[in-house]
């Protein structure tokens, strides 16, 4: 908005200078003595120089915007229970259409809960990237040494974005009870800022933005998804800033063990930010089905969250 205001002011001033220039020239043509008496020649030169300076000022912010270096984004996908082969391209195309970013991908077609992702055993996997998007579903990957390598870039200043099943990945210990600070059980949750252990049935979720003053959410409006999974909150950490709550009606149903689960209205934090070792972290548990991932509102949310995490949520990076 600041650059638009500068452009408007420059255009207005140039218009005023152009009018003054035309007036002086007209008077000079009609009355040659006016040129000598009023030193109009020097005034015209001054007006031309002023207009040139304003044109330079007008071009500068536009040129700066064009020359802003694209953010390099690494998108990690693969694992259990989701159509990652499709969703990775939806995310790449959606982000690149909305922001000055270049999205590279590391993907595994393995559909188990321990996908052999190329980032494993490589603590330097984020070298050269500005931000990492974790969209993997690796619930069975509980090797602490692997997890420490996955977290290494984020402990060294690389921001993180976490989508949907990333919240159910890298579970060490009993993920259904609150993990204790400083334990291996808490390693991934400490990074995320929220601990989740599961979800209810696939039903629509009403998303309500609870912090509308935050840079990520201030341009967004509440919306309702198609059928989705509402991830529970085992615990929300003190460093976490909740941005949106999801509300879901869950009809009466049978659990896997045969027990009847009564109908209820459920809610949970579904969008939030966290600070981890000085790195910004943005997360949302929304994003199970292709229809949700392709939703313009979802892509807008993820784009703004990513740019915020990189401290680039501004006109130079938003398209």
Q: Which of 67, 86, 114 is the last residue of a domain?
A: 67
Q: Domain of residue 253: give its range.
A: 71-309
pLDDT for 2: 42
Per DSSP, the three-state class of 240 is coil
pLDDT for 22 beyond 50: no
Q: pTM above 0.85?
A: no
Diameter of the chain measured on Cα atoms: 104
CB-based contact 209:233 (threshold 8 Å): no
Pair (276, 208) in one structural domain? yes
Pair (285, 142) in one structural domain? yes
pLDDT for 26: 47
pLDDT for 62: 47
pLDDT for 239: 95
Pair (82, 53) in one structural domain? no
The count of domains in the chain is 2
Q: pLDDT band for position 39 (50/70/90)?
A: low
pLDDT for 8: 56
Per DSSP, the three-state class of 112 is coil
132: in domain: yes
Quick: pLDDT tens for 241-288: 999 999 999 999 988 888 998 999 999 999 999 999 999 999 999 999
Catalogue the E-assigned strands of the chain.
71-79, 101-108, 131-137, 160-163, 194-195, 203-209, 223-228, 235-236, 241-250, 253-254, 260-261, 264-276, 279-284
- Assign residue 202 the CATH number of its domain: 3.40.50.880
Q: Which of 67, 82, 115 is the last residue of a domain?
A: 67
Q: pLDDT band for position 43 (50/70/90)?
A: low
CA distance 130 to 192: 18
Pair (77, 194) in one structural domain? yes
């Amino acid at each position: 908005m600041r650059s638009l205001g500068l452009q408007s002011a420059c255009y207005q001033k140039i218009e005023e200078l152009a009018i003054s220039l035309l007036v002086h020239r007209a008077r000079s043509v009609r009355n040659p003595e006016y040129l000598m008496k009023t030193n109009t020649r020097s005034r015209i030169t001054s007006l031309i120089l002023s207009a040139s300076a304003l044109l330079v000022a007008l071009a500068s912010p536009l040129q700066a915007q064009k020359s802003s270096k694209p953010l390099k984004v690494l998108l990690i996908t693969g694992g259990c229970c989701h159509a990652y082969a499709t969703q990775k391209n939806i995310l790449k195309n959606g982000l690149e259409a909305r922001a000055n970013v270049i999205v590279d991908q590391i993907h595994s077609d393995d559909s188990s809960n321990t996908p052999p992702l190329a980032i494993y055993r490589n603590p330097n996997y984020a070298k050269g990237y500005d931000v990492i998007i974790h969209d993997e579903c690796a619930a069975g990957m509980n090797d602490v040494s692997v997890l420490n390598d996955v977290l290494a870039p984020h402990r060294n200043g690389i921001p993180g974005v976490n989508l949907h099943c990333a919240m159910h990945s890298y579970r060490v210990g009993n993920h259904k009870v609150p993990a204790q600070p400083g334990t291996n059980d808490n390693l991934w949750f400490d990074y995320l800022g929220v601990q989740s252990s599961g979800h209810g049935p696939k039903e629509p979720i009403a998303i309500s933005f609870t912090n509308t003053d935050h840079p990520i959410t201030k341009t967004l409006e509440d919306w309702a998804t198609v059928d989705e999974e509402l991830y529970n909150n085992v615990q929300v950490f003190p460093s976490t800033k909740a941005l949106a709550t999801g509300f879901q009606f869950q009809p009466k149903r049978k659990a896997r063990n045969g027990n009847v689960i009564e109908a209820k209205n459920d809610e949970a934090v579904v969008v939030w930010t966290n600070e981890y070792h000085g790195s910004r972290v943005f997360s949302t548990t929304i994003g199970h089905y292709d229809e949700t991932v392709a939703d313009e509102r979802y892509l807008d949310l993820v784009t703004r969250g990513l740019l915020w995490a990189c401290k680039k949520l501004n006109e130079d990076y938003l398209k």
